[in-house]
Amino acid sequence: MSDQIKFIVDNLNKEPFRKNYNLITFDSLEPMQLLQVLNDVLAEIDPKQVVDIREEMPEQTAKRMLSLLGILKYKPPGNATDMSTFRQGLVIGSKPVIYPVLHWLLQRTNELKKRAYLARFLIKLEVPSEFLQDETVADTNKQYEELMEAFKTLHKECEQLKTSGFSTAEIRRDISAMEEEKDQLIKRVERLKKRVETVQNHQRMLKIARQLRVEKEREEFLAQQKLEQKNQLFHAVQRLQRVQNQLKSMRHAAADAKPESLMKRLEEEIKFNSYMVTEKFPKELENKKKELHFLQKVVSEPAMTHSDLLELESKINEINTQINQLIEKKMMRNEPIEGKLSLYRQQASIISRKKEAKAEELQEAKEKLASLEREVSVKASQSREFDGTEVLKGDEFKRYVSKLRSKSTVYKKKHQIIAEFKAEFGLLQRTEELLKQRHENIQHQLQTTEEKKGISGYSYTQEELERVSALKSEVDEMKGRTLDDMSEMELTQECDEKKSQYDSCAAGLESNRSKLEQEVRGLREECLQEESRYHYTNCMIKNLEVQLRRATDEMKAYVSSDQQEKRKAIREQYTKNIAEQENLGKKLRERQKAVRESHGPNMKQAKMWRDFEQLMECKKQCFLKQQNQTSIGQVIQEGGEDRLIL
């Protein structure tokens, strides 16, 4: 272990890490710091792994590292149990897990860099077979596989070219071709000089060209400064909007705080807590006790041999056979009451399981909400300490999130491009190192060959000539730029003519573009119509499928020999309803006939009763009138007393 740590420390102190560790400081690193060191080594192999693990969840960090180690074909020691220990140790930053990984990575860094680079292009993306039924997806997948094979071929050719050296004859031919090109450039420069010297005031024109270049650079600087000021103004307006929205949300929250809503929330919380205390937690506690009792029983039993296991398996098979036989007997008895009770029991168990699952989901959601609220409070305090602004809420936060999503999409694309550039830069840097090493080997071979041929120092002299020619080419390039400035001033008229031609061509292309846009708009409308027609047809097909399924079920139920199943048929139900309605109609018709027959006598009897009632009322009135007339001024003796009626 000490040799392993020493090797790790020595390599981390070298380029490109330069950690300046010793054995004591490295061994005293915290788990988070050790994970960051491992992440830095992985980032050197694959630039996409450049992450600050303090800003990342531990599960995401472990998943990302395990994925890259799988690509790099790292095999942890041990079996499946050790694999779970390895994953857990990687999450918590355990030294017995991290040290072997670092030792393995630092031993073969260059090889792993190449493997990580190739994994970006050679790890095949598996497409489900049901998606490959689509022609477009199948064609795209085929092109993807062809491009992968082409990349393999090109990479092999590139490696072969890197390993193969260039001959001295080829280098000499290249040198002679460059010398010829150099002579042609010298002649061209001389001709341009002669042409410029014939122009009047060429020094003044060169001065004006320099001033024009300076003014253009100043114009670009001012445009950049104007853009920065616009961005500052935009950020200030956004900050003002955030403050206004925050004030509005605070007022709205204060207005919505009613006693009814608070009471309702408290009642829901009390119901949930009472369910957890009275039902869920006791069941979980009972299950844990049973599991503990079972585990204690297993631990207390002696170790079992292979013969004991076979005997237990045979007993289990016998018991399963007996259970199946009992189930078959129960199904043969076909007791309807027991069947209904079992159905109700099954429904009750399903509802109970759903209730427990929802309670667990609610508990997890509450815990997650509490953790998120704590995190939000911490972030809000950090934000206030950083720039003095409050956390966004409500509609303002939604708008901010929508803007952030669009910017995040752009950022991810740019970040991916940058990561690809970094990876390509690393590869090119490595290629440059290999080429430099190969160049040194070729130079050594060339010097040896020159000494053998008796022309020692030829390559050095050639390099000096090339260096001098390079300096001359730089001077010639400066002169060429000066001549280009002068020729640019002479070609202004030709530029105007070309510009007019460009404008006319652009106008023609613009008209063609407008026509194409109209055609595209029409095709899109047609596509929308076809899509709506497709959805309508699809809905009709689904309705017909439902009707067909109902008709099939009806036919099965009608032709079934089971009477209970046959009674469920719609035809039987409708036949029963029709018979009931026919019986009811027959009774109503008989009642109507009886009413019709007795209607005349009943009406006559009712008239006689009305006449009798009028006659009796008339007699009553006459009697009362006669009684009132005879009783006026009459003395009535009643109960030994005399009364006079006036």
Q: pLDDT tens digits, residue range 162-203?
A: 666 556 677 788 888 888 888 888 888 788 777 777 777 777
CA distance 576 to 586: 15
Q: Which two tokens stand for residue 249?
A: 């949300």
d(CA 396, CA 245): 6
Which two three-digit tokens encode residue 38?
């491992």
Cα 477 off chain centre by: 54
Average the pLDDT over each of 317-321, 566-570, 602-606, 609-613 and give the range with the smallest value.
566-570
d(CA 479, CA 487): 12
Q: What does the longest C-alpha to C-alpha distance in the chain come to? A: 184
What's the rounded mean pLDDT across residues 66-76?
Answer: 81
Mean pLDDT computed over 581-588: 90
pLDDT above 70 coverage of the chain, percent: 80
DSSP state of 133: G
pLDDT of residue 333: 65
For residues 563-568, give the mean pLDDT: 68
Asked if pLDDT for residue 591 goes beyond 80, the answer is yes
The whole-angstrom separation of Cα 201 and Cα 598 is 137
Query: What mean pLDDT, rounded, does the chain reach?
Result: 78
Q: Could you write out the three-class secondary structure of 95-116?
A: HHHHHHHHHHHHHCHHHHHHHH
pLDDT confidence band for 158 (50 / 70 / 90): confident
Which pLDDT value is given to residue 79?
57
Beta bridge partners of 123: none
Higher pLDDT, 306 or 184: 184
- At residue 616, the pLDDT reads 93
Closest to 427 measured CA to CA, from 115, 160, 70: 115
- Going by pLDDT thresholds of 50, 70 and 90, the confidence category of residue 209 is confident
pLDDT of residue 327: 75
- Report how far residue 367's alpha carbon sits from residue 376's, in angstroms, rounded to the nearest whole number: 14
d(CA 635, CA 147): 138
Q: How confident is the model at residue 433 (pLDDT cuts 50, 70, 90)?
A: confident
Q: Comparing 92 with 579, which gets the higher pLDDT?
A: 579
Estimate the crossing angle of helix 109-122 against helix 95-107, to 10 degrees: 90
The pLDDT score that the predictor gives to residue 610 is 92
Looking at 48-57, 283-292, 326-335, 629-638, which range is the least confident one?
629-638
Which regions of 96-188 does DSSP assign to beta strands (E)?
none
| % of the chain beyond a pLDDT of 90 | 4
- Reply yes or no on whether the pLDDT at 533 is more than 90: no
Provide the pLDDT for residue 390: 56
Query: What's the rounded mean pLDDT across residues 370-378?
Result: 75
User: Given pLDDT bands bounded at 50, 70 and 90, which one contains residue 615?
Assistant: very high
> Which tokens in the block code for residue 119?
């994994």
Is the pLDDT confidence value at 440 over 90? no
Write out pLDDT tens, residues 242-267. 788 778 766 765 565 567 776 777 78
d(CA 335, CA 626): 85
**Above 80 in pLDDT, residue 504?**
no
Ranked by mean pLDDT, the top range of 76-90, 121-135, 372-386 is: 121-135
462 vs 607, higher pLDDT: 607
N-to-C CA span, the chain: 141
